[in-house]
Chains A and B, each alone.
Chain A
């Protein structure tokens, strides 16, 4: 740096020098974070793609695999099941969470007493640890004697579902738990967006005789589309990453009924030490997230309304 400064000093007027020292000051602000961020995030991101084309057990020599890992994925039953389950989970969680969080936000965006109280309560499950949430859900939905099934039996359901212990019901149970946990978070985003809608729009609609549904359909929904767009992307990305909840609630079971991509990646990397192969699963996850995000951005023009109100 010192020599560079000197050459520039000789070559250029003081204006250039001022800009350089401004740059140096700015870099000094960024450096502590950038150093850690570059080494522990950017470099691993760059390597993750390369690793998926390698054979490596972490102990012996690393060797080139070409497309072997990706070809092997095709015949890996667990991978195919995990892929299908992940899409199932995302397809269930994203729309349900969005609908519930919008409902909560609309409900809370009225002149009601105790609004802060309700908002706090709805948000709370989101800050509770997933391990604690998963374990209490498992107990509540315990097939033989859990309170939920006892309640269903008193209500006359003779054979209540076996929830997370049954192949058919395990995934819906996990989806339910995750919707329950996440809706308060996205509600807060919707609530912020709702508060940005000018009240005058509703008032003039009322004067023109619009009913509550018409106001919701023609004012609220269109003006919320930027928030909806944003939430759909955040929620999709975070749903593809599901891990803790599933590991503690079902550990991918029963059988492989709730095995998902991240769990499969984790198991192949840290249980079987197939680092290269595991990276190729991670790449599929990454590609899926990217493709869906790009599609969402592409579709944005069709339905998101950025109006100037």
Chain B
């Protein structure tokens, strides 16, 4: 479309064919934007409706036609949700798990990924195959033996169970290995000649060079842990240990007709992810483009 346009504007002789081509180009362009905007609305309207409903009285949530901007916004909905259930506890639990698991995952994965990408050792390819193969097996296939193992270790209903299960993923190793491999060997060899040990190279060359990759894994991992539902559902039973997603579900079940409050709680649960996503969305996109795999 674009080439057609430039060709048209470049050609000095404004023939009939060229001008009709130009018009067709403009129409397509307008249609493209209309479509793009309609699709953007389709993606965002549920969230906008959520925000709008969260500021209404329950009885007004389903009033039709939709009042997108409530005339009398019920800001106290956002105060009420914190008192109905221990929402703050859930947020803090999620925060704790997110920080610990993400840190452990980035640290151990980058360490292992360095060896897989840049060191030559016995059994490397076989071991890497085991890592890769495990990514293809749905977690649900082995969740029961995992649960039994955790029960034997007496870790069920403790945060430690989720930390141990989610901190050492094959996904993190795979993602970072893909990035590390693209770092030229010449740089590392030069450092070796200068007498730097492999640990030195990892800390002083590899890590600084792969900040985008580390950021990508950090964000993937943080979003995964924050949004995880099935893991906490299986392992966390005490109310004082539950995470935000479990808390949200609990809220929905206990106050199923408090529509506005449910929407307010849902929106609050989205805030950290939205902030993280908007701040680092370029890493998301690059990360997926590079590996195509999700956590």
Binding site for B on A (CB under 8 A): 22-23, 25-27, 29-30, 32-37, 39-45, 47-48, 51, 58, 104, 107-108, 110-112, 117-125, 127-133, 135-137, 139-140, 142, 145-147, 150-151, 154, 180, 184-185, 188-189, 191-192, 202-203, 206, 212, 230-231, 234, 237-238, 240-241, 243-244, 247-248, 262, 265-266, 269-270, 275, 278-279, 282-283, 285-286, 289, 293
Query: Given A30-B111, A33-B109, A47 and B252 touching (CB < 8 A)?
Result: no
**A interface footprint on B237-260 (CB within 8 Å = 1, 0 otherwise):** 000000001001100100000010
A133 and B45 CA atoms in complex are apart in Å by 12
Q: Are A29 and B202 in contact (CB under 8 A)?
A: yes
Q: Across the interface, name the chain A residue whose C-beta is closest to B161.
A: A40
CA distance in complex: A258, B167 (Å) = 32
Chain B residue numbers with a CB within 8 Å of A184 are 43
A282–B140 CB distance below 8 A: yes
Q: Could you tell me which residues of chain B, from 89 to 141, have a CB within 8 Å of some CB in chain A? A: 107-109, 111-112, 114-116, 119-122, 124, 127, 130-131, 134, 136-141
Q: Does B46 interact with chain A (Cβ within 8 Å)?
A: yes
Q: Which residues of B contact A108 (CB under 8 A)?
A: 36
B46 touches A140 (CB 8 A): yes
Q: How far is the CA of A286 from the CA of B140 in the complex (A)?
A: 9
Task: Give the dominant DSSP class at B's interface.
Answer: helix
Q: Are B288 and A22 in contact (CB under 8 A)?
A: no
A41 and B142 contact, Cβ closer than 8 Å, known pairs A29-B112, A189-B288, A238-B294: yes
Total count of chain B residues near the partner, CB < 8 A: 96
Inside 8 A of B227's CB, which chain A residues have their CB?
127-130
CB B33 to nearest CB in A, in angstroms, measures 7
- In the bound complex, CA of A127 to CA of B222 (Å): 11
Interface residues of B in 256-280 (CB under 8 A from A): 259, 262-263, 266-267, 269-270, 273-274, 277-278
| A27 to B, closest residue via Cβ | B121
B169 touches which of A37, A119, A278 (Cβ 8 Å): A37
Contacts of A275 in B (CB 8 A): 144, 148
Let me know if B72 is at the binding interface, CB within 8 A: no
| Given A41-B142, A41-B168: A33 and B288 interface contact (C-beta under 8 Å) | no
B180-193 CB contact bits vs A (8 Å, 1 = yes)? 00000000000000
Q: B62–A142 contact, CB under 8 A?
A: yes
Complex A-B: 7 CB contacts under 8 Å: A32-B111, A45-B134, A51-B148, A107-B35, A129-B273, A135-B263, A265-B140
Asked whether, in the complex, the Cβ of A127 is within 8 Å of the Cβ of B43, the reply is no
With A29-B111, A45-B134: A206-B4 Cβ-Cβ less than 8 Å = yes
- Contact: A188 with B64, CB < 8 Å? no
**Which residues on B sit within 8 Å (CB–CB) of A34?**
112, 127, 168
Contacts of A212 in B (CB 8 A): 1
